[in-house]
């Protein structure tokens, strides 16, 4: 059995798991902005606890997103640094797929929408199906909101929904009769199970390909910007000023041809008396 480490910092939690043989050790703590400083020490501490060096790993798995931008960059850079330094390969795994795997648990089959709160009143969403042997991506990760999901689900209601967006959006999320997994998350244990399958199938890649998965086009879009945009759209439009044709003759601006004629007359030589 492969010796693998997996970690994810796409959400507010930082989660790490290591498998060596039949033994699995895990670490879970607060993530968010703190993950950039605490992820690497936590990984090294977990390796030390298990008596494993980075050189002993077969591959390094990480949640590539979508999720918090700082968290994705942190996971990606740490995975690359460890892999380049030890000459290892990496297994980038969709964080939404890890949510789906966490929801599946011991179930043999599951078709589920995985949703992560993307903040700014938006949701990272994807749909997956497990046939008893492996996962299939039915809808690739994309950025949505409650209204667009409700529209999509109107013709084909989901049978199951998983992820922290369920709690974040509450009744605004039209879940219908779907089975809900509000506590499902991209845990490292779920990542580890996916990594084991990926390793067996030869999915490990060069660390240069350890890249984040972004689905939001504008990284710096803030709540203030979005609020200003909404206010601008809602503000009543001022009436257009009257055209010059509607003004009085006295106040009319001379035309270009009139200005040219006046200039020509001024420049013409005057006859002497």
Which DSSP string corresponds to 204-222?
-B-GGG-------S-TT--
Exposed, middle or buried by CB within 10 Å (0-12, 13-18, 19+), for 85?
exposed
Report pLDDT for 8: 96
Q: Say whether domain 4-223 belongs to CATH 3.30.420.40.
A: yes
Half-sphere exposure (Cβ direction) of 14: Cα atoms closer than 13 Å: 21
Read off the tokens for 77: 């850079």
Q: pTM for the full model? A: 0.79
Report d(CA 214, CA 10) in Å as an integer.
11
Break the chain into its structural domains and give their ranges: 4-223
Report pLDDT for 242: 56
* DSSP count for the chain of H helices, then E strands: 8, 10
Compute the chain's Rg from CA coordinates: 29
Give mean pLDDT in consecutive 10-residue pieces for the chain, a chain of 273 residues: 95 94 92 86 95 96 94 95 97 98 94 97 98 96 97 96 98 96 96 96 95 76 55 63 47 44 46 44
DSSP run (H or E) holding 6:
strand 4-8
User: Residue 82 in contact with residue 54, Cβ under 8 Å?
Assistant: yes
């Amino acid at each position: 059995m492969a010796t693998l480490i997996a970690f994810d910092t796409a959400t507010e939690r930082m989660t790490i798991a290591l498998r060596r043989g039949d033994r699995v050790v895990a670490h879970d703590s607060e993530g968010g902005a703190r993950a950039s400083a605490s992820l690497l020490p936590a990984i090294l501490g977990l390796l030390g606890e298990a008596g494993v060096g980075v050189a002993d790993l077969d591959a390094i798995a990480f949640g590539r997103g979508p999720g918090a931008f700082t968290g994705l960059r942190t996971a990606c850079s740490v995975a690359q640094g460890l892999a380049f330094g030890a000459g290892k390969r990496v297994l980038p795994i969709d964080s939404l797929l890890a949510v789906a795997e966490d929801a599946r648990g011991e179930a043999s089959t599951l078709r589920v929408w995985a949703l992560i709160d993307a903040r700014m009143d938006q949701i990272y969403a994807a749909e997956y199906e497990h046939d008893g042997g492996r996962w299939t991506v039915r809808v690739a990760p994309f950025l949505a909101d409650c209204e667009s999901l409700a529209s999509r689900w109107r013709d084909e209601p989901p049978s199951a929904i998983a992820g922290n967006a369920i709690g974040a959006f509450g009744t605004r999320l039209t879940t219908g009769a779907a089975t809900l997994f509000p506590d499902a998350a991209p845990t490292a244990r779920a990542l580890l199970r996916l990594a084991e399958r990926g390793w067996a199938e030869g999915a490990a890649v060069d660390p240069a390909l350890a890249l984040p998965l972004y689905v939001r086009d504008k990284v710096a879009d803030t709540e203030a910007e979005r609020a200003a945009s909404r206010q601008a759209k809602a503000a009543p439009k001022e009436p257009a000023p009257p055209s010059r044709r509607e003004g009085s003759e006295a106040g009319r601006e001379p035309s270009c041809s009139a200005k040219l004629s006046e200039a020509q007359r001024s420049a013409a030589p005057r006859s002497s008396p």
